[in-house]
Amino acid sequence: MTDPITILDGGTGRELKRIGAPFRQPEWSALALIEAPEYVTRAHENFIRAGANIITSNSYAVVPFHIGEERFASDGLRLVDLAGKLARQAADAAPHSVKVAGSLPPVFGSYRADLFDASRVQSILSVLVQGLRPYVDHWQAETLSSIAEAQAVRTAIGNDGKPLWISFTLDDEAADPSMPRLRSGEAVADAVRAVAGLDAAAILFNCSQPEVMAAAVDTAHQTLLEIGANLQIGVYANAFPPQRKDAEANADLDEIRADLTAPGYLAFARDWVARGASIVGGCCGIGPEHIQALSVALKP
């Protein structure tokens, strides 16, 4: 790898729960924004101290799926604005250079490409984009299950000059692990081609088990070479067991794998970097101790 390694933060929701923030279903990580935003600042600071180069706005759950249609209509923009402001303040106060990623989630529920509603997606995404735009350095569309979700994000942000990173979640239990697929069933190779056509700066894979990420990185690297596209590749896995095909992310509090220690996660990350990834971090259940291990081992 010739590119320097960029270290992302870890899973904000589980870090909020770990440090004692208000946390329940269905609001998930949005509850801290609503009731105790000081915890959001603490979570950002924990990942910054661990060595993260990028922290992610706590806007993932500020959608009707989590906070309800009525609250989103009345308070969604304010909460998204607060999420962006807290991340920006934490990044600007950091002792090292830290940038802010604007989290744009799958607005109809994670892992559920079948729930995507093209007729409503822009009205929801527009609130997130409006609230986050003053604060973020790049857009991070994350945990997307389908190519259609990625295309919707590009439409929502337009061409505002901020780089777009697109991150897909993978089928944890694909029939052929050597042929990685999105949770929609679409091939990763097709997703890479689509992302390249959306003028994105990076393609990433997140919120799936670490074991399925290597094949996706290999496929992305090979596909980018074939089409002559120059995108960064990134990975930030979760610490969940395999997720059922009909699972709804955050519908229940999944158990965190006891075997996925910081050294164990680092071993996976070293392999991703060797295969061509230049952006690594963590998703649900990956905490500051994991990010610190990545930072110490992988940053120059």
pLDDT score recorded for residue 64: 98
259/97 Cα distance (integer angstroms): 32
The token duo for 110 is: 């994670």
**Cβ neighbour number for residue 195 with a 10 Å cutoff:** 30
Strands 6-7 and 54-56: unpaired
271 and 214 Cβ atoms separated by less than 8 Å:
yes
| pLDDT on residue 173 | 87
pLDDT of amino acid 252: 59
Q: Which residues of the chain have pLDDT under 50?
A: 1
Q: 167-181 burial, b if ≥16 CB within 10 A, otherwise e? A: bbbbbbebeeeeebb
Give me the phi and psi of 168, to 5 degrees please: -105, 150
Q: Judge whether 210 lies within some domain.
A: yes
Which residues sit opposite 181 in a β-bridge? 187
Would the pTM of this model clear 0.85, i.e. be above it?
yes
Beta strand residue intervals within 94-227, DSSP E:
99-104, 138-144, 164-168, 202-206
Assigned token pair, 86: 């807290």
Q: Which one-letter amino acid corresponds to residue 118?
A: A
8 A C-beta contact, residue 35 and residue 22: yes
pLDDT score recorded for residue 1: 41
Return phi, psi of residue 143, to 5°: 60, 35
152 falls within a domain:
yes
pLDDT for residue 174: 81
Domain count, the chain: 1
The CATH number of whichever domain residue 193 belongs to comes to 3.20.20.330
Question: What's residue 82's pLDDT?
Answer: 98
Residue 179 resides in a domain: yes
Query: Does any domain span residue 1?
Result: no
User: Looking at residue 222, what is its pLDDT?
Assistant: 98
Question: Does 243 reside within a domain?
Answer: yes
Domain interval for residue 188: 6-298
- Return the pLDDT at 255: 76
Q: What are 173's two structure tokens? A: 């239990």
123-169, pLDDT tens digit by residue? 999 999 999 999 999 999 999 999 999 999 999 999 999 999 999 99
Q: Which tokens belong to 165?
A: 């990173």
Q: Is residue 292 part of a domain?
A: yes
Q: Where are the alpha helices (DSSP H) in 133-253?
A: 147-157, 188-197, 213-227
- Distance, CA of 234 to CA of 251 (rounded, Å): 26
- 185 token code pair: 């069933």
- Alpha-carbon span 13 to 62, nearest angstrom: 12
- pLDDT, tens digit, for every residue of 274-297? 999 999 999 999 999 999 999 999
